[in-house]
Amino acid sequence: MTVEHQTAIAAAEAAAAAVATVATVATVATCETCETWALATTRGLVFHVPASMASLTTYVLLEQEHWFEPEMSMLPQLLQPGLHALDIGANHGLYALEMARCTQTGHVWAFEPTAAPRSSLLRSVQDNGLGDRVTVVAAGLAECAGQASFAVSDNSELNSRSGGGARRETVQLLALDDYLDAHAAGVQIAFVKLDAEGGELQVLAGAQRFFDSQSPVVLFELKHGAAINTALIERWQVLGYGMFRWSAELNLLLPFDVAGDETDFALNLVAVRPPQQAELAERGLLVTPAELQAVVPPHPDPQTLAAWCALTRQSLDKLRLPVSEADTACLRALNAVASAHLQVGLRPAERVALVVAAQVLLTPWSGPAASLGLEAGALLVHILHALGRQHAAVKLAAQLLNRWPANTALTLPVAPPQLHELERPRSTSPGSWLHQVLGEFVATKSTLSSYFAPPCPERWAQLMGHPDHSAEIERRYMLSHMVQDRRVAVDGLRWLPLPEHTCNPSLWTALLQAARAMAA
């Protein structure tokens, strides 16, 4: 972002300051080593992040107003009040603060070796009133105590012991066993988030006593760079852990097979020992491989289909009865999916079995996209995404968009790609709305964030032409101009500064005012 942008934003923020609140305004502050913005998120937390679009954390929080990893939605499910947790490689603390929020009276130890993100994290801990529940440790974890030279960059997410680059920082290293003996002796740790940018095996080497005596659930990076970290997975298996993957659509940990499951968009896995697997399964949060093999899909509850249609604002009595075998299969598959999401009393394995059964029902028509009706195709996109096959889901959604026009009339109930979209406002016909939702799914899920793709304002402008476009599309449209320092037309923006559509209305108001000032 240029100085011209920064100056215009600062002036607009000053004008808005009289009505701003701590929870919604994005302020510019000075920390020990850098200038920061305080950005509010959908979880109700505020994070100090670098005042630069070069920072991945800053960009993603502006773009999505939460961290893009689906496992963030897992934390409120797994972390019960009073549990204690470790965040190893805390960076700006997005996981650490969320963990502290979820555990309430529990404590979180956040290990961050590099100075800039640690300084921001300390400010965030204080501003969110979590100083008594989060301990920020100024060190990295390794096999033994000492020092190391870390490569550091504007993207602190990539700061690491093994990285290259001209900018280096000497950091302190500790062994986890020694730290816990000195500062948390006897404390039971229920959850660990491990992100050491390739140094995970060294961390485990310094934590042998910990893992011999305790069995925390561990969230860890699946990949180091683009390569799957097979050595780390093998180490977890030696320690008696099974591998699972979080499905945000099903709110379940599903068994993960690194040799056979899709890994294109998989960033993290969850390691769980058998006793904890049984506990989480009892709480309805995990499906073991044995359960999945043995389960028989239950009969879907017919009432869930009517409930689903109510959520999509469709009336069953106004939709035509199925006139083909494909229509019948689509309705049966949707009834199974609706039961998996809505039917009370199902075991986790039964819910997954219903989704898999729905996929099987659609298999005869799931070859070329031309053989799928739009309703059945969108349902299959939903199923693939729920089962962790995001690459296949995005590919199919793109095929459907090419096959079916935006004004397609729907005669069967619809299923959007993601469950939360059932609550999305709709002012157009179901077919037009579904086409827009599929278009946004392809545009936003083709990569984890537009940060990783070449800026393409035209793509977001096209999606903004639909009256049911989301606020996230407007945010991406603005950011794609800002990173290129391009003047931006703001007349088509409807949702951006409205408090009900953003956690940071004052910031976006300031950015819009800056854009208008630059265009004048």
The residue that leads in pLDDT, 253 or 413, is 253
The candidate with the shortest Cα–Cα distance to 50, out of 7, 91, 90, is: 91
Give the residue-averaged pLDDT of 277-285.
96
Residue (of 373, 366, 370, 382) closest to 415 by Cα position: 382
pLDDT (tens digit per residue) in 443-452 = 999 999 999 9
pLDDT score of 20 more than 60? no
Q: Parallel, antiparallel, or unpaired: how do β-strands 168-174 and 189-194 relate? A: unpaired
State the pLDDT confidence band at 259, using cuts at 50, 70 and 90: confident
Question: Which DSSP category does 252 fall into?
Answer: E
User: Which range among 6-20, 122-136, 271-285, 413-427 shows the weakest confidence by mean pLDDT?
Assistant: 6-20
Placement of tokens 């899909």 in the chain: 297
Residues 196-225 have pLDDT tens digits of 878 899 999 999 999 999 999 999 999 877
In this prediction, residue 285 carries a pLDDT of: 97
- C-alpha dihedral sign at 411, 413, 417, 421: positive
pLDDT of residue 31: 35
pTM score: 0.90
Distance CA 196, CA 202 (A): 9
Q: Are 343 and 244 in contact (CB under 8 A)?
A: no
Nearby residues of 264 by Cβ (< 8 Å), 6 or more positions away: 390, 391
* pLDDT higher than threshold 50 for residue 471: yes
Band (pLDDT 50/70/90 cuts) for residue 423 is confident
Average pLDDT estimate for 173-197:
96
Helix extents (H) in 344-456: 348-362, 374-386, 390-403, 430-445
Record the tokens describing residue 226, joined without a space. Answer: 């683009």
Which CA distances in Å does 199 have to 154, 225, 237, 393? 20, 12, 18, 32
Mean pLDDT of the chain: 88
Burial status of residue 60 (CB atoms within 10 A of its CB: 0-12, 13-18, 19 or more): buried
All residues at 6 or more sequence positions from 417 whose CB lies less than 8 Å from its CB, including other chains: 378, 381, 382, 385, 393, 397, 437, 438, 441, 445
CA of 446: how far to CAs of 138, 237, 340, 372, 510, in Å?
36, 31, 26, 21, 30
The CA distance from 138 to 128, in Å, is 20
Q: What is the pLDDT of residues 332-381, one digit of tens each?
A: 999 999 999 999 999 999 999 999 999 999 988 777 656 788 999 999 99
At residue 1 the predicted structure's pLDDT band, cuts being 50, 70 and 90, is very low
Tell me the C-alpha distance between 158 and 444, whole Å: 23
pLDDT at 318 over 90: no
Q: Is the pLDDT of residue 10 over 50?
A: no
Q: Specify whether the backbone of 24 is left (phi greater than 0), alpha (psi in -120 to 50) or beta.
A: alpha
pLDDT value of residue 158: 63
13 has pLDDT over 50? no
pLDDT at 29 (0 to 100): 35
Kindly indicate the confidence band of residue 230, based on its pLDDT and cuts at 50, 70 and 90.
very high
* Strand bridging mode 46-50 / 84-88: unpaired
**For range 238-264, the mean pLDDT:** 95
The pLDDT, as a whole number, for residue 23 is: 28
Instruction: Provide mean pLDDT across the span 491-498.
Output: 87
Query: What single string gives the DSSP state of each residue in 156-186?
Result: GGG-BSS--SS-EEEEEEE-HHHHHHHHSTT
Q: pLDDT tens, 118-141?
A: 999 999 999 999 999 999 999 999
pLDDT value of residue 339: 97
Q: How many residues does the chain have?
A: 520
